Amino acid sequence: MLDWTDRHCRYLLRLISRHALLYTEMVTTGAILHGRHARHLHHDATEHPLALQLGGSAPAELAECARIGADFGFDEINLNIGCPSDRVQSGRFGACLMAEPGLVAECVAAMKSAVSIPVTVKTRIGIDDMDSYAALANFIDTVAAADCNTFIIHARKAYLKGLSPKENRTVPPLKYEYAWQLKTDFPQLTIVVNGGINDLDAAELQLQHADGVMLGRAAYHDPYLLADVDRRFFDDSHPVLSRKQVVVAMLPYIEREQSDGTSLKHITRHMLGLFQGMPGARHWRRHLSHYAVQPGAGIDVVRQALQIIQNFNNNMTPTKDNRQQHG
């Protein structure tokens, strides 16, 4: 979710679910060690529980970044062994590390020695021709021996050559049974399933076989998908904000961020899908997409977009089904 789950996105998602564990976009060790800490690690206190996802392959560097992440208050450090992009491979991290389980174990051990918070691993089920369940089980067994107790399993293998990152999210077939078998063979581990899970019904089915579910692009494109997560999976029936209330709750955050120099477009791009599937959603997206990118765009753009979708709903001609539903 590189360039997607930044702090503005996470602030929005936290307004919708109190309990879902949120993850940062993947941050490379080099970006933390040789860049500006605040740019990559700054987050709002309301975002917790929050995991920092790292990309790297040098144990000492990962250990230092884990320590920095813990000092910044993250609740978990996650090592990404799932990204298949050429850029990531050239830096010797991401999915290509599945071919080096011993090195991944060293990385995990170094990170564990540096922090007291959980260290987890996100991985594919295989790469290229190294795609048997036996190879995956060996990888998990080797890394678990370094005291890693939680694995997030993207249930597709990755092709390191020949497919784009986008194609690697859709072309290799999903094999959820690999993740389920891991839970059977390693019952002491926490196994979280990822990949192709597009709604909460599908998530609930996965929980019959595994300990958790990670939602990615489905929750990004339709953030309000998370609205029923707390009640359904965390036994918390607190009142959930409506979509309109979420927008209103974002306004003080947007004002604060803009006063610190953040461009409106960097926040509103994460809000485009908030009304996904609702009447007027296209008008909402179109208004924000067109006006939030204009020089000097301010919070009134968001207020206008909200008013447009409200007017659209108020002025809709009732259908037969609507009349039946509303008496």
User: pLDDT in tens for each of the 327 residues of the chain?
Assistant: 677 899 999 999 999 999 999 999 999 999 999 987 777 899 999 999 999 999 999 999 999 999 999 999 999 999 999 888 766 655 677 889 999 999 999 999 999 999 999 999 999 999 999 999 999 999 999 999 999 999 999 999 999 888 888 898 889 999 999 999 999 999 999 999 999 999 999 999 999 999 999 999 999 999 999 999 999 999 999 999 999 999 999 999 999 999 999 999 999 999 999 999 999 999 999 999 999 999 999 999 999 999 999 988 777 544 444 333 333
Pick the CATH number of 243-314 from 1.20.120.1460, 2.60.120.200, 1.10.357.10, 3.40.50.300: 1.20.120.1460
Q: Where are the domain boundaries for CATH 3.20.20.70 in the chain?
A: 7-234
Q: Which of 83, 96, 107, 148 is catalytic?
A: 83
Residue 107 is a catalytic residue: no
Q: Where are the domain boundaries for CATH 1.20.120.1460 in the chain?
A: 243-314
Tell me the CA distances in angstroms from 71 to 23, 77, 168, 248, 314, one per residue in order: 17, 12, 34, 32, 49
Residue 327: the pLDDT is 30
Q: With respect to CATH, is domain 7-234 assigned 3.20.20.70?
A: yes
**Cβ(185)–Cβ(143) under 8 Å?**
no
CA distance 302 to 251: 8
Taking alpha carbons only, the member of 156, 169, 101 closest to residue 126 is 156
